[in-house]
Amino acid sequence: MGYVESARLLAREKGIEELVDIEAFETCRRIEESLRQGRTGEALAWCADNKQALKKTDSNLEIELRLQQYIELVRTGENPKLIEATLHARKYLAAQQDTEFTMRAAGLLVFPPGTAAEPYR
């Protein structure tokens, strides 16, 4: 919920600082803030650092972040960004087993930004 400083103070007050991983909360806060600003790099770095744990839980966080990167590239509607989006999709999204997922992502290239067509709106 973003109350990292409150958690730190409470842990210190109760004498349980060594039992509380405040750094994990700080990392989450930094990643959350970067995502709110439209940046996925920090979250992807975290995914790389925690690849094994994510794999054990069958998490799709990394692919969701890659998809968001793709969406942001396509959203501009500019030709250089669309080319970059295509290369990005080939590198990170094409290997997905879910062909519907891949086709919907590719469909973003067909519809211009601001389209009323669902689900590309």
pLDDT classification of 48: cutoffs 50, 70, 90: very high
Better-scored residue on pLDDT, 95 or 45: 45
| Helix, strand or coil, per DSSP, at residue 14 | helix
Instruction: Note the pLDDT of residue 15.
Output: 92
Structure tokens at 80: 């250089």
Residue reference for tokens 């109350």: 3
Dist. CA 60–CA 3, nearest whole Å: 27
Count of CB atoms situated within 10 Å of the CB of 59: 14
Q: How many residues does the chain have?
A: 121
Better-scored residue on pLDDT, 72 or 95: 72
Instruction: Note the pLDDT of residue 85.
Output: 92
Structure tokens at 77: 């509607």
Dist. CA 22–CA 4, nearest whole Å: 7
Q: How many CA atoms lie within 13 A of 84 on its CB side?
A: 14
